[in-house]
Amino acid sequence: MHPDSSFAVLEAIDVVIDRQWSTLGAPGLWMTGEERTEIVRIARSRQAPVDADDPAAAAASLAAHRAATITADTVDELESRGVRREHYVEIVGVVSRVAAIETFDRGIGRPARPAPPPLPGVPSRHVVAAAKRRAGWVPTVDAISPPTALQAVPPEAAAQEALHGALYLSYPGMADLAAVRGLSRAQMELVAARVSYLNDCFF
């Protein structure tokens, strides 16, 4: 790839990542800015802190550090402790975005970003009426799959899609088997498959 093309790709990625990072501390549908920045802190920690008295912190710790151990029973138990499934979806959305952004930054040799500041405001508590429990563990609008897993919290679903498009391919773009973004599509899939395997992602 020509150096100018590489710079253009990086610049486009940075626009998305910078915007996403700055909004992580904003109130969401189910968490305040302070609560979301605490989820960010847990996601960034090197160990797996678990506050036995805070089920949201436990959910974040599991998603960030032991995702492969989460089962349907885990989500049921978190719900029984007060983390409704939409709240859990928001936690997973925040944790996964932090992981993606920090992995990208480390991969290109950047230092860690300053923590996003908590922003004032209250969560909207908006419930997506069309999101229902289907075969999966959380409510979705469409059939359950990785691209639909965050649909019960539309801002997280939209953020995931934007980040996915910047770091990999947009969902429509995935239909293009001849896509080239520095790597050919076959090379991209080889890297993705290997990384997924190492991260215990079995999708």
Residue 28 has pLDDT above 70, yes or no: yes
**Predicted TM-score (pTM) of this structure:** 0.90
Please return the burial class of 130, using the count of CB atoms within 10 Å of its CB with bins 0-12, 13-18 and 19+: exposed
Distance CA 34, CA 25 (A): 7
Q: What is the pLDDT of residues 132-191, one digit of tens each?
A: 998 899 999 999 888 899 999 999 999 999 999 999 888 888 889 998 887 899 998 998
Alpha helices in the chain (DSSP H): 3-23, 33-44, 55-65, 72-80, 85-107, 154-167, 185-198
Which pair of structure tokens corresponds to residue 72?
A: 């349907």
More confident residue, 48 or 174: 174
AA letter at 101: I
AA letter at 43: A
Whose tokens are 């912190």? That residue is: 57
- pLDDT for 195: 84
